[in-house]
Amino acid sequence: MMIIIAEFFVVILKVLWAFVTAGAKWVVRPKEKSVAGQVCVITGAGSGLGRLFAKEFARRRAILVLWDINSQSNEETAEMVRQIYHELDTDLTKDGPVGGVEEVPPFQPQVYTYVCDVGKRESVYSTAEKVRREVGEVDILINNAGVVSGHHLLECPDELIERTMVVNCHAHFWTTKAFLPKMLELNHGHIVTVASSLGLFSTAGVEDYCASKFGAIGFHESLSHELKASEKDGINMTLVCPYLVDTGMFKGCRIRKEIEPFLPPLKPEFCVKQAMRAILTDQPMICTPRIVYMVNFMKSILPFEAIVCMYRFLGADKCMYPFLAQRKEAMNNNEAKNGI
């Protein structure tokens, strides 16, 4: 009994120390780690956040492995990465050796592109094998690919529901199973889950999307605990949960007009820069903007009816309806054109 009581007090001290260290990071910014020369796989790299992640990692001299279902857009991202590599190489050549000593070896552009449908596990596993064979073992995995159906539940075809779940959630299982074994062997690596605030709290009209993001977050958290239980402290996990990002994915989504100036859609560049800071400092979770942390906490402690009242006040209860209406109108117009 005395042992349990002693352990309990030790746990309390460790919890308090965790609060202290977390608070200290707000005051003293942690030093960012180097990812130069590390192999980084980014899914959904052909556009949106995936493209911006690729550019940010390229600026830090990482070896980029870009996955996307669209070959053309993926190659466009790769060309942007090559341009960044070229600029880095030019700057290095221009500066020359410092004090007559060549401290940094000449930088060689390295970016690889692969067409991969992460919604098909065979495609994931075969592409992963190509990466290991042609590039090497992966150090950083960015699970970024995502889709949205844009239909009310009762109007959404089952195939689109399944597609949303598979791409946004199941694919994380497959990519992780493909690359985690070597990370465990080396006790080195970093897995990033790009989820959403809609994986922490939901809204009406996007049941499939919310479910997929809740699933991705559950997978991420469980895997984080498994790595801790296995005492693999060299493998880091970062969960990225942004508020609505202005990438066009949810075009038309609107909250109450009086509130919107205080909570506008996030600029993609800002979202990725915040995520990069979290990744490079091994931060377990990043919510952007910070009010998402508070909303998630309030959801956990307030009665459901209180949450409903807050949603209605903010206009968040039907914020997806304009987006859904636009998607439905666009689909009807396409069907009309095809019928002509």
Q: Is 167 exposed, middle or buried (0-12, 13-18, 19+ CB in 10 A)?
A: buried
The answer to whether residues 236 and 281 touch, using CB atoms and an 8 Å cutoff, is no
Query: Which residues have CB under 8 Å from 182's CB, separation 6+?
Result: 132, 137, 138, 189
- Strand pairing of 235-242 and 63-68? unpaired
Smallest CA-to-CA distance from 194 within 285, 277, 62 is with 285
Distance CA 20, CA 11 (A): 14
Enumerate the active-site residues: 209
What single-letter DSSP state applies at residue 101?
A: B
Strand, coil or helix: 96: coil
Indicate the residue type of 278: A
Strand, coil or helix: 236: strand
DSSP string, 239-303: EEEES-BSSSTTTT----TTTGGGSPPBPHHHHHHHHHHHHHTT-SEEEESTHHHHHHHHHHHS-
Distance CA 12, CA 7 (A): 9
The helix (H) or strand (E) run that includes residue 189 is strand 189-194
Q: Is the backbone of residue 100 left (phi > 0), alpha (psi -120 to 50) or beta?
A: left
